[in-house]
A and B are shown apart, each in its own frame.
Chain A
Amino acid sequence: KQEVTQIPAALSVPEGENLVLNCSFTDSAIYNLQWFRQDPGKGLTSLLLIQSSQREQTSGRLNASLDKSSGRSTLYIAASQPGDSATYLCAVSPRSNDYKLSFGAGTTVTVRA
């Protein structure tokens, strides 16, 4: 059974600092990995999707890396802003014919103005 872990559970940084969020998974036989953002009381919004053949994916200030062999992904957010305050979740997709996403519990980020 795939286990997905996100450490730390919470993170507080001053505005302008770069954020580094970690996601680890136990089974390296994944199809892709997604990072999501969740604001309080809201649904999830997809940020980045990395296919298993990719090493990284970028969108604006966000960069996600993937190291399948070590079972790790890292989400970098450059020059954090108070609007980046949210919970960030990663989810791992298994083989292409298995549609059961496994989610981490998330990292709650607070960016202090």
Chain B
Amino acid sequence: NAGVTQTPKFQVLKTGQSMTLQCAQDMNHEYMSWYRQDPGMGLRLIHYSVGAGITDQGEVPNGYNVSRSTTEDFPLRLLSAAPSQTSVYFCASSYTGSGQGFYEQYFGPGTRLTVT
């Protein structure tokens, strides 16, 4: 199993540009999520999904879009990048046990994004 994979590893954008961060998992997990990690602030949830076609907002969703057409993939789109979106982005996945809450979370290696 490859686990959770993320591409690209590094990205530099100019303000106003758009891009998509890719996330894929091969563990057949229902739950997938995106976090951003900023110094001293821990991880903050951006968006999450509990299955194909189902997404919801987390703590800091503004400026980001998601969709989930397959169980395996959960891309994160930045429509118009801003310097405040400079961060490290992590994708995670987990079983959800049919509404019984989280099981162990598996994280990808992260994407380091700089917006100038």
Q: Are B102 and A43 in touch, CB under 8 angstroms?
A: no
A89-B42, A100-B59, A105-B42 known; A43+B101 contact, CB < 8 A: no
Q: How far in angstroms is the closest Cβ of chain A from B43?
A: 4
A49-B103, A93-B101 known; A103+B110 contact, CB < 8 A: no
Chain A interface size range: 20 to 34
A44 to B109, CA, bound (A): 8
Q: Are A45 and B42 in touch, CB under 8 angstroms?
A: no
Q: Given the complex, which residues of A lie within 8 Å of B48, measured CB to CB?
A: 99-100
Q: Given the complex, which residues of B lie within 8 Å of A41, measured CB to CB?
A: 110
Where the two chains meet, the residues of A that have a C-beta atom closer than 8 Å to any C-beta of B are 4, 9, 31-32, 34, 36, 41-46, 49, 89, 91, 93, 95-97, 99-101, 103-106
